């Protein structure tokens, strides 16, 4: 792991620099290096990204008993290393261009890394409530993923926070398990698509709590209730729940690419399933890409595609070496 912090042994030039060492980035690394491309992954925190802090993943194909996020991350990390991928701790500041090459600059380090292609796999983070008690129950009662954690709430009572497509769709999905789902929204009108709203209104297990915001998450060893503030009545009350699913939007990790890449209004990189961005030779993979389903399985799929596209780009643009 000490090599993770050592930039002395950087190559003069890479075929692929991958920004982000989560499942998309590590998979892109595996595919690129296996195709004999000189590959460097830059990860700003620790390999694995969001997944590394997920307690148990039950929906990643092939792991019948589930697998912990830490273990899956370690396997992906070792797999990438096995094919010769270099993985370093660094945060991308920006990308410059010269003579057909790209130069990735880093925050806090006076280094520019020369590369033929860049794969951006810097991920996205679900927005947090930022109220007392939230951090205490992260990953053990507070969830940002119904597909991942819904099954833990069989016959329990859960609160879903938010009024967009995710909250309403995931709230409906959670009624497969939970006996009661409260959807808590800060206004009296949903942002979600009409078709999703109609389905949720018709679901007897869903109850909406309007004009309300979460002030606190309460409990000793597990969540017991949330404190809600009713903005219309100006009053607070406690709502008994066993779990809280937060769907109040996402933040993409794309600050460094503003002005260079085409982003949507939430900062996600616009690229289709071939992962091509508006800049030739720069690809976007995983949660950072504008897409419908943000899951590990869709992230690793993107990673594989992006590596293939990078290889093709090198063949076409650097024919003597590709």
Sites of contact with ligand NAP (CB under 6 A): 161-167, 169, 186-187, 191, 213, 247-250
CB of 149 to ligand NAP, least distance (A): 16
Q: Rounded to an integer, what distance in angstroms lies between the CA atom of residue 77 and that of residue 233?
A: 52
Choose, from 149, 242, 287, 302, the residue flagged as catalytic: 149
Selecting among 15, 92, 148, 242, the annotated active-site residue is: 148
- Of 208 and 313, which has the nearer Cβ to ligand NAP? 208
**145 counts as catalytic:** yes
Closer CB to ligand NAP, residue 115 or residue 166?
166
**Nearest distance, CB of residue 301 and ligand NAP, angstroms:** 18
Q: Which is nearer to ligand NAP, 90 or 162 (CB)?
A: 162
Task: Match 């616009």 to its residue by tokens.
Answer: 270
**Dihedrals φ, ψ of 16, to 5°?**
-135, 130
Closest to ligand NAP by CB, 22 or 171:
171
Q: Shortest Cβ distance from residue 66 to ligand NAP (Å)? A: 24
Reply yes or no on whether 3 is catalytic: no
Examine the residue annotation and report whether 98 is marked as an active-site residue of this protein: no
Torsion sign over Cα 195, 198, 204, 205: positive
Give the closest residue to 21 by CA, choosing from 71, 70, 117, 87: 87
Query: Closer CB to ligand NAP, residue 65 or residue 189?
Result: 189
Let me know how many helices (H) and strands (E) the chain has, helices first: 6, 17
Residue nearest to ligand NAP (CB): 164
Q: What is the 3-state secondary structure (H, E, C) of 135-196?
A: HHHECCCEECCHHHHHHHHCCCEEEEECCCHHHHHHHHHHCCCCCEEEEECCCCCCCCCHHH
Q: Say which of 145, 242, 253, 302 is annotated catalytic.
A: 145
The pair of three-digit structure tokens given for residue 181, joined into one six-digit string: 């789902």
CB of 211 to ligand NAP, least distance (A): 10
Which tokens is 200 given? 């949720």
CB of 271 to ligand NAP, least distance (A): 16
The length of the chain is 322
Active site residues: 145, 148-149
């Amino acid at each position: 792991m000490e090599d993770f912090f050592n930039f002395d042994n950087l190559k003069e030039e890479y075929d692929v620099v991958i920004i982000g060492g989560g499942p998309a980035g590590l998979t892109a690394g595996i595919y690129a290096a296996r195709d004999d491309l000189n590959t460097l992954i830059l990860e700003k925190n620790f390999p694995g990204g969001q997944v590394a802090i997920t307690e148990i993943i039950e929906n990643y194909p092939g792991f019948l008993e589930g697998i912990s996020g830490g273990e899956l991350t370690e396997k992906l990390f070792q797999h990438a290393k096995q094919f010769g991928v270099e993985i370093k701790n660094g945060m991308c500041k920006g990308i410059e261009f010269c003579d057909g090459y790209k130069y990735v600059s880093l925050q806090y380090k006076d280094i520019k890394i020369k590369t033929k292609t860049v794969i951006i796999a810097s991920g996205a983070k679900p927005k947090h409530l930022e109220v007392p008690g939230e951090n205490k129950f992260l990953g053990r009662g507070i969830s940002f993923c119904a597909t991942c954690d819904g099954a833990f709430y069989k016959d329990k009572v859960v609160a879903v926070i938010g009024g967009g497509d995710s909250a309403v769709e995931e709230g409906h999905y959670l009624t497969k398990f939970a006996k009661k789902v409260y959807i808590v929204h800060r206004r009296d009108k949903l942002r979600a698509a009409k078709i999703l709203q109609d389905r949720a209104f018709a679901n007897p297990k869903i109850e909406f709590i309007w004009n309300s915001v979460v002030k606190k998450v309460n409990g000793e060893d597990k969540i017991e209730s949330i404190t809600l503030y009713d903005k219309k009545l100006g009053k607070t009350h406690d709502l008994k729940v066993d779990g809280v699913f937060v769907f109040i939007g996402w933040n993409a990790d794309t600050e460094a690419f503003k002005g260079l890449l085409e982003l949507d209004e939430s900062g996600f990189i616009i690229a289709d399933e071939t992962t091509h961005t508006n800049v030739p030779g720069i690809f976007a993979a995983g949660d950072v890409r504008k897409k419908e389903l943000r899951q590990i399985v869709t992230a690793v799929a993107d990673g594989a595609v992006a590596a293939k596209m990078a290889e093709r780009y090198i063949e076409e643009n650097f024919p003597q070496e590709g």
